[in-house]
Amino acid sequence: MKPPLTTQRAPPLPGSPLVVVGASAGGVEALRELVGGLPKDLPAAVLVVLHIAPSARSALPDILRRAGELPVQHAGDGDEIKQGRVYVAPPNQHLVVRDGRLVLGTGPRENGHRPAVDPLFRSAARWYGPAVTGVILSGTLDDGASGVAVVAARGGRVIVQDPEEALYDGMPRAAIRAVTPDAIASAAKVGRFLDEWTREPTDERPPPVHRDLQLETDVAELDESALSDPNRPGTPAGLSCPDCNGAMFEIADDVLRFRCRVGHAWSPESLFAKQLEDAEGSLWIAVRILEEKAALHRRLGDNARDRGQEVASHRQQEKADEAADTASAIRRLVTLPLETHESEGVALTQQ
């Protein structure tokens, strides 16, 4: 087993700038406009993560290829990163970078997604430092907020789609809360900033890599030494991971987030949304069990009445009514609007 991680010396000076882009709901149209605004001689590679269902077929390379002049392809594991190309993360695989190459893997999901935005941004910041530009486009919740914070902390630039323009403003607003962006622009104008910024000389070497950043980027690649390192970043959070039910650690750096022992990571908004989803599922299970209980008591009551046992039949009917009333009450709770759950059901969702 490798020894525990220590602070890594500064990576070598990158050969060319790197642009990393994160998007989710409403992101396809924003990506089309962004790519359409990039020149064919862009002196940087563009790496894209769009949230997509694990079993879906991604047509995004075809869509973006028709939108602009740059060649677009799905990222391949081990591919050399070449400037003037757009690489898209394939379904159900994290896309990260390491030492000038693309790395694909099925590491732990982050914010419920694989591919996720944060692992890409984090790895790009680790290896490229000031040569990275992070772009956040339309999407719900807050995947990418932690990633842009790391990009900014290591000297890179951040540009965010104008939340007023984005079809879904959750990710842009979360990114703006996490950092002060270098620019906020419409998706169609993002390309102009990228063209200008990537042509500026970058001779600043990336700073040394803190062991926590090294560990988290290695976890995304399923590195055994990182996964087994006893010195986890953060403190025990007293919360369980929705993906594996393991204990989570609270990481309170620039952006509050949580990570469990096996590597699943959650931002606050994504964690809360998952808790609500799981709570709703549990409540529907409770409704089903109570309705089945009511049906069984009615059947027992009918059998007792057929045998002339009126007292027993009445008792079974009372139990059936009690179970049905409880099921009805839970059903009303499940169908409350989301904002009501957020204001009145926090304790329930944290069970």
| 193 and 236 both lie in a single domain | no
Does 11 map to a domain?
no
Average pLDDT over residues 71-77: 97
Q: Is the pLDDT of residue 348 over 70?
A: no
| 312 and 283 both lie in a single domain | yes
Cα separation, 220 vs 200, whole angstroms: 31
Instruction: Supply the pLDDT for residue 175.
Output: 97
Structure confidence by residue, pLDDT tens digits, 297-328 = 999 999 999 999 999 999 999 999 999 999 99
Of 241, 268, 295, which residue constitutes the final position of a domain? 268
| 166 and 302 both lie in a single domain | no
Q: Is the pLDDT of residue 15 over 80?
A: no
- Kindly state the tokens that stand for 274: 């998952």
Q: Is 143 a catalytic residue?
A: yes
Instruction: Supply the pLDDT for residue 347.
Output: 33
Q: How many CA atoms lie within 13 A of 272 on its CB side?
A: 16
Q: Is the pLDDT of residue 137 over 70?
A: yes
| 274 and 247 both lie in a single domain | no
Q: Which of 143, 169, 218, 229 is catalytic?
A: 143
- Choose between 203 and 165: higher pLDDT: 165
Domain that residue 242 falls in: 227-268
Of 211, 242, 268, which residue constitutes the final position of a domain? 268
The alpha carbon torsion through 109, 114, 115, 118 (nearest 10 deg) reads -20
Q: Is the pLDDT of residue 3 over 50?
A: no
Does 7 map to a domain?
no
Q: Which of 24, 123, 138, 313 is catalytic?
A: 24
Chain centroid, CA 205 distance in Å: 29
The DSSP-derived string for 200-223 is S---PPPPPBPHHHHHHHHHHTT-
Q: Which amino acid is at 195?
A: D
**86: CATH:** 3.40.50.180
| pLDDT tier for residue 338 given thresholds of 50, 70 and 90 | low
Contacts of 15 (CB under 8 A, 6+ apart): 100
- Kindly state the tokens that stand for 117: 């935005």
Based on DSSP, count helices (H) and strands (E) in the chain, helices before strands: 12, 13
Does 80 map to a domain?
yes
24 and 51 Cβ atoms separated by less than 8 Å: yes
Instruction: Supply the pLDDT for residue 350.
Output: 30
Cα separation, 131 vs 127, whole angstroms: 9
Does 165 map to a domain?
yes
Instruction: Supply the pLDDT for residue 154.
Output: 93
Query: What is the percentage of the chain residues whose pLDDT exceeds 70?
Result: 91
| 103 and 170 both lie in a single domain | yes
Provide the mean pLDDT of the chain. Answer: 89
- Angle, alpha carbons 100-101-106 (nearest 5°): 140
Q: Is the pLDDT of residue 268 over 60?
A: yes
Q: Which amino acid is at 54?
A: P
Of 180, 198, 216, which residue constitutes the final position of a domain? 198
| 277 and 238 both lie in a single domain | no
| 291 and 312 both lie in a single domain | yes
Does 327 map to a domain?
yes
Average pLDDT over residues 5-22: 74
Q: Is the pLDDT of residue 4 over 50?
A: no
Report strand pairing: 183-185 vs 157-161: parallel
Average pLDDT over residues 134-161: 96
Cα separation, 244 vs 246, whole angstroms: 5
The region of weakest confidence among 33-37, 44-48, 274-278, 339-343 is: 339-343
Does 214 map to a domain?
no
| 285 and 254 both lie in a single domain | no
| 275 and 126 both lie in a single domain | no
The total of structural domains in the chain comes to 3
Does 152 map to a domain?
yes
Does 256 map to a domain?
yes
Instruction: Supply the pLDDT for residue 7.
Output: 56
Average pLDDT over residues 6-24: 78
Q: Is 123 a catalytic residue?
A: no
Q: Is 228 a catalytic residue?
A: no
| 70 and 97 both lie in a single domain | yes
| 174 and 315 both lie in a single domain | no
Residue 129: count other Cβ atoms within 10 Å of its Cβ.
25
| 279 and 253 both lie in a single domain | no
